[in-house]
Amino acid sequence: MEPPIAKRRPTERNLHGETVVDNYAWMKDRGDPEVLSYLDEENAYTRAMTDHLSSLRDEIFVEIKERTQETDLAVPAKRGDYWYSTRTEEGRPYGIWVRMAGGPDGPETVLLDENEAAEGHDYFRLANFSVSPDAGIVGYSVDTDGGERYTTRFRTAATGEVLDDEIPGTYYGAAWASDSLHYFYTVTDAAMRPWQVWRHRLGTPASDDALVYQEDDDRYYLSVRRSRSGDFIFIDLGSAVTGEVRFIPADDPEAESVPVLPRIEGVEYAVDHRGDEFWIVTNDGALDGRLVRRSVAGGDTVEVVGHEPGSKLAHPDCFADHIVVWGRHEGLPAALIVDPDRGESAYLSFGEVVYQVGPGANYEFDTPLLRYGYESPVTPPSVFDHDVATGERTLLKQKTVLGDYDPAAYSTAREWVEAADGARIPVSVVRRADTPVDGSAPLFVYAYGAYEISMPARFSIPRLSLLDRGVVYAIAHVRGGGEMGKTWYEQGKLGHKMNTFTDLLDATRHLTDRGYGDPGRVAIRGGSAGGLTIGAAVNLAPDRFRVAVAEVPFVDVINTMLDETLPLTIVEWEEWGNPAIEEQYRWMRSYAPYENVGEGAYPALLITGGLNDPRVQYWEPAKWTALLRNSSIGERPVLLKMEMGAGHFARSGRYDAWRDEAFVLAFALDELGVVDG
């Protein structure tokens, strides 16, 4: 089957003395029937080109399914008189939200069955599930097309009766007032920027809802939440470099919001509440953060934990008798336990060289226990209770991996890669212990590198289908992420963005030099901003990789950052730059994947997109595919897989997610020459 060849309709962009011709700008017109026709042709071509992999895809899907305990119950967590949990059932794609009365083994009430809510919809995604303080009402939001504009609904917890209240066009973030009558939520503007907080009163129409706060600065996002103490409603506002938190007493929902600290350009802070004080992590005078406290009534801040360069303090969780500050320490995720009365602090310690740890379901404020989740590339997700007073840890549950999974059969490592400028890049590696480190194994490398987001070294059942076929898997923690503190992020953004891509090149070279992989059989993968990393890397060194997977990739950087009507554009000038400014245009012009496709033997490429994606518009992967297809990049396949009824997060439901993952893994294994189980 011949690949689709998109029509060329030249459009000129004249900027800073340079004329650039874009032959595929016409794809932005969703109303043009040729756009949908072209996308359908690409999907048909991808199906035809991967039809020979159907057996392998089915094999991998079955492996994922047979390793997964489909009927399962998450560890129940106490809040008030009830214990809350979620469970799954074999054969059903979505979760079920439940609670038990009197104890974790008490009689169960179903609060929301996502499977029932999803009936009649090809796509379903839940957000903002929350139970009112009096435990009587459940609020939840649903998206049925992937566009991320939700409809919020309410039902009684005891009977499941759906109330007449319905709020269209909501976004992420919700909070109940103490009276269990008022409900706070967010909405977006035309560019999908969450910019307003509204207040709804149960039993009244959404048209009567009150605007609580509006953020007019286009650089800022906002969200809303309730403090762990339950005493305050917090409105979190943030740009890429500046933050502000406003508060409303939860027992006075009609009060005006007040800032915890003044907004200062370049200063970010995060807040929680305990007693008569706010506990604040701020980067004011501390690049990687320090912990301070301040009276709710106002006054000066008092430092509790000082700045330690390279150890990131991110956000505090307050309990009645202790504070937990989540962040990064020695390049790994960390939980710092703080005694609020004595000011003493210590990090929790963990035994593996790479791992992921984060807060669990801590619904109770007055408790000596910290519940956290722990996992690593070889340790399945585990739930622990840590007694802050005694130091005792209790394993409550570890995810069951069916079959013959044995963690001892696998090996993890942490490599440090020296970049050309001397930076030391951490890389997390996992393989079967019997996979030789002699340069013969296929190598699969994942990378992201943006927004100060650290890529977690998690456990993955689908990944076992790679490892058991002799593939070595690695996560390159490239600059632009937050793995090594704020400086790590700043060295991979704006005018330093090229470091993100060269870090990936240096990491893959190091891994093959160290014998982890065959230089001729290297796969790379990334999504969204990580798709940009993949696109830039293959332009810089197309012969370095055998296969590349770019999922919902942000590749048309300059054109997107010039269009202020698009979601994320103005907000993200502080991340990527504003191409209307010549210096910043030159940064982007040097690496934007769509603008820098060259010649030579490119790797096989699998590119994905979502027609309803509000984050990375569908035309970015479509235009990039068309350009690659019409460039001199060699004979390897360039495939576009466009989801026509989904958005940024692809299809919904766990079975569809497993099939999508099986599709990617089968494509990569085939191109790497690994086709047998």
* Per-residue pLDDT tens digits for 282-311: 999 999 999 999 999 999 999 999 999 999
Place of tokens 């839940």: 126
- C-alpha distance from residue 486 to each of 156, 288, 426, 490, 662 (Å): 44, 6, 15, 6, 36
Which residues make beta-bridge pairs with 292? Answer: 280, 303
**The predicted structure's pLDDT at residue 527:** 98
Spot the catalytic one: 273, 528, 556, 660.
528
**The predicted structure's pLDDT at residue 173:** 98
Is residue 584 within 8 A of residue 494, CB to CB? The reply is: yes
What sign does the CA torsion over 519, 525, 530, 536 have?
A: positive
**The predicted structure's pLDDT at residue 568:** 83
Catalytic residue flag (residue 311): no
Is residue 585 within 8 A of residue 16, CB to CB? The reply is: yes
Low-confidence stretches of the chain (pLDDT beneath 70): 676-677
Q: What is the DSSP letter of 324?
A: E
- Please tell me the CATH superfamily of domain 120-267, with its number: Prolyl oligopeptidase, N-terminal domain (2.130.10.120)
Fold classification of 274-400 (topology level): Methylamine Dehydrogenase; Chain H (2.130.10)
Helix (H) or strand (E) holding 657: helix 654-671
Give me the DSSP letters along 385-415.
EEETTT--EEEEEE--B-SS--GGGEEEEEE
**The predicted structure's pLDDT at residue 1:** 85
Is residue 287 within 8 A of residue 295, CB to CB? The reply is: no
Architecture of domain 38-64+403-671: 3-Layer(aba) Sandwich (3.40)
State how far the Cα of 490 lies from the Cα of 643, in Å rounded to an integer: 34
Residue count of the chain? 677
Catalytic residue flag (residue 528): yes
CA dihedral of residues 164, 170, 176, 181 (deg, nearest 10): -30
- Measured in degrees and rounded to the nearest 5, phi and psi for residue 248 equal -135, 130
Determine how β-strand 323-329 pairs with β-strand 332-338: antiparallel
**Where are the extended beta strands (E) located within 48-102?**
72-73, 77-79, 82-88, 96-101
Catalytic residue flag (residue 648): yes
**The predicted structure's pLDDT at residue 213:** 98
State how far the Cα of 235 lies from the Cα of 248, in Å rounded to an integer: 8
Q: Which residue type is seen at 641?
A: K
* Cβ burial, residue 662 (10 Å; 0-12/13-18/19+): buried
Residues 6+ apart with CB under 8 A from 10: 21, 22, 23
- Measured in degrees and rounded to the nearest 5, phi and psi for residue 532 equal -60, -45
Which residues make beta-bridge pairs with 124? Answer: none
Spot the catalytic one: 209, 428, 648, 660.
648
Domain(s) labelled CATH 3.40.50.1820 in the chain stretch across 38-64+403-671
**The predicted structure's pLDDT at residue 677:** 44
CA Rg value for the chain:
25
Spot the catalytic one: 510, 613, 652, 660.
613
Q: What is the pTM of this model?
A: 0.96
**The predicted structure's pLDDT at residue 676:** 60
Domain(s) labelled CATH 2.130.10.120 in the chain stretch across 120-267, 274-400
